Amino acid sequence: MADASIHGPQGAIRQPDHSVLWRLWAPKARIARLVTWPGGHRVETAMAPGPPRYFTCRQAGVEEGLRYAYRLDDGPEYPDPASRWQPDGVHRPSAVFFPETYSWSDHAWRGVEPADLVLYELHVGTFTPAGTLDAAAERLEELARLGITAVELMPLAQFPGERNWGYDGVHPFAVQAGYGGPRALQRLIDAAHHAGLAVILDVVYNHFGPEGNYFDRFGPYFTDRYRTPWGKAVRFGDARAGGVRRFFLDNARMWVRDFHADGLRLDAVHAIYDRSPRHVLEEIRGAIAEEAARQNRRVHVIAESNQNDPRLVRPPAEGGYGLDAVWSDDFHHSVHALLTGERGGYYLDFGRAEHLAKALSDVFVYDGCHSEFRGRSHGSPVGDLDRSRFVVAVENHDQVGNRARGDRLATLVPPAACRLACGLLLVSPCTPLVFMGQEYGETRPFPFFCSFLDPGVAGQVRRGRRAEFAAFAWQAEIPDPQDPGTFASAKLAWAWPAGSFHAQIRQLYADLLAARRQWPALRDRRHTAVRLVRQETPCGAGVSPALSAGTAAPQGRAVLVVHRGIEPGLTVCANLTPDGQPLPPEAAEGMIVLSTEERRYGGRRDIETPPRGLDPYEMLMLGRREWRL
């Protein structure tokens, strides 16, 4: 049998004989001591050094919850870099956690297939009034009834204070104590599987947060060769990176093995720098596949990237990394710029109907062509790759929260345009992602918030946030990210009164999600043809009063015609303008099966009456009578 002290993961790990083995990678230290507090009394124990530059200590009779820390070379005490539980915060000692003692009841669960994924991104702290994992679990059945198949949790790794988006975590193995800690995550995932929902965890492998970050005391976790927008880059690709790579591979395995997670969403993989013969992303995918095979269920690895690089999802045999899916922001940018008229920042590259047409047919709008925003060519074509391997959205935490005030689409465009955005998202052949509250037209904002304990770090965040939006007229109105009120403003209303816009658009989401499940044409991810019909309306005429001051009018007054599936397929006619438009010829060839402007959704359309034209922002879907919901 292999020696667990050499080959096992870092952290406090329960052994088959119920003893606990502490294992620490600390190549910067000559000596290491384990400090524990059994019965409240401080005990210091020397750790045994061993290859490859690990220290170990084994003890019997250890109870879950025992606090412990490490001392290196007679220096101060630090929490465990691989701590599974930080009940007292990022600076305090770690606690022993035994994941294997949870009694799972999801033995029949086999996961969700890629073609069936409908992702629902949520932030645990603002999803419910209580802001805990147990409270979130109480809403899972409602999401399943809506048609969601997978919940994607924003990062749970322990961060400073009680309020944070999660991307400032400094204990990648520990579930945020304020959310309920690791046991609560096990309960939520167990409940999700009973509701028929997969759970994807958002993990951050490209950087660590600025406060409580003690990694460089232990080993060479960082490199000066690269920088990220959030600080030092993690070391993955040189001769000193072996322990770092094992750290993250152990982390990926842990979520699948100990928490039964159905996948990982890897944050900003374009900021993971690795020139090794086998990229760490490919290695992570392989490690997760091994854990999934042991449990006989489907597990997904989804990357976030702004590089428009299909190699992420191509198999290794074709020079790719073999991931299951990758985000595509081009769809969001195409829809948002077209409907709002905004042209600032990266929206400079978007705003024409052609962009949306290309996003629907080719996934990446910028697939090797010139990007004015970047000043160079950008991206690469996806070719005939299955469209379920690309995740698209009209709202997500970044695109809402990285606005100055965190305002949502429902506050920027008319209701009909919100319904059109819903239709475009769910007609796309790609995997849809719905941001929490979007399904009922939530109007409460999702601004950036945090609760750093270090006044210096908090001040830097405030100044950085103001500088980011210094060019905008509303700079003075940017919410203070450290103010508890900023966090409170993001709590979901979670309400859709009967007859309201919120209830009507939620019904539209439910019906279109049912259509994605039931209609063969919408289940077809490989056959999508798009045609753009130019109308005679002069550019700039009939501009919606909802456009923000100072923004340009939408260009390309057009109707989009989308054909999904092989014969008999589905024909979709989408009016991208705030004015009524003539029907394209395709609208005379089929029966209306759904319109985003039906009365039940808040519009004026009666689908039993032959249409004379398209209403403003209307999406008309034509197919077989038996497809009607």
d(CA 316, CA 308): 18
18 φψ region: left (φ > 0), alpha (ψ -120 to 50), beta (else): left
d(CA 223, CA 462): 27
Tell me the catalytic residues. 267, 304
Closest CA relative to residue 346, chosen from 324, 323, 322, 371: 371
In degrees, rounded to 5, the angle at the alpha carbon of residue 156 between the alpha carbons of residues 280 and 106 is 90
Token pair 């490199």: residue = 223
Contact criterion met (CB below 8 Å) for 219 and 27: yes
d(CA 520, CA 130): 41
Q: Which residues contact 192 (CB under 8 A, 6 or more apart)?
A: 137, 140, 151, 198, 199
Strand order in 48-50's β-sheet? 11-14, 20-25, 54-59, 48-50
User: Distance of CA 606 to CAs 252, 553, 601, 625, Å?
Assistant: 51, 30, 11, 15
Q: Which residues contact 295 (CB under 8 A, 6 or more apart)?
A: 256, 257, 260
Contact criterion met (CB below 8 Å) for 455 and 434: no
The CA R_g of the chain, rounded to the nearest whole Å, is 26
Alpha carbon 155 to chain centroid, angstroms = 9
Amino acid letter at 377?
S
Q: What is the DSSP string of 177-227?
A: GGGTHHHHHHHHHHHHHHTT-EEEEEE--S---SSS--HHHHS--EEEEEE
Closest CA relative to residue 364, chosen from 302, 322, 306: 306
Q: 445 phi and psi, to 5 degrees?
A: -75, 170
Three-class DSSP category at 311: helix
Contact criterion met (CB below 8 Å) for 555 and 539: yes
